[in-house]
Amino acid sequence: MVVSCAMASDRAALRAPLLVRSTSPLHCLLAFAAGAGLQQALGLPLPQGVAREAMQAIGTGLANAGLVLVLWCFVLFARARTTLLPGDAPARLILHGPFRWSRNPIYVGMLASYIGLALMLDVPWALATLAVPVLVLQRSIVPWEEGRLHARFPREYADYARRVRRWL
């Protein structure tokens, strides 16, 4: 009985905070929806003609590049048989592929796709509302994940964090 209480208490100590459990794609979706609503209500002027086509083409490229980066990371996680979910305990530390250049390539790809979609779909207000999920990532999710990785892989993660930047 005492053992199960200790185990339950250990599990509670490792439980992810609400902002981590609610996932960053949800934060981005809500921010984008808020940006779309603001664009509808307070429409910012959009470039016209060739400038608009260029903006949409750049947005399409950025959105696709971000998606490819995220999918690449998903494949690496599947091959390593470790979790993608921030609230779950990682089985392995992935140090290759895009993780050689960024400790958070999934978030980099997700944010690139967000910016690309804002440009592609003519939603400039979404660029302003992007500040909210970026702050949630920077102040809550990423520090929590890094603490967890450091606790699980103390030496390896410390070396990795010294070599590789958090973002780019």
Assigned token pair, 111: 């944010």
Distance between CA atoms of residues 111 and 59, nearest Å: 12
pLDDT in tens, 31-73: 999 999 999 999 999 999 999 999 999 999 999 999 999 999 9
| Per-residue pLDDT at 5 exceeds 70 | no
Q: Residue 16 CB: number of other CB atoms within 10 A? A: 16
- How many Å separate Cα 69 from the centre of its chain? 11
Q: 85: pLDDT confidence band, cut at 50, 70 and 90?
A: confident
Percent of the chain surpassing pLDDT 90 = 79
Q: Which residue, among 29, 123, 28, 108, has the nearest Cα to 68 in the 3D structure? A: 108
What pLDDT, on the 0 to 100 scale, is given for residue 6? 33
Residue type, 27: H
What pLDDT, on the 0 to 100 scale, is given for residue 8? 38
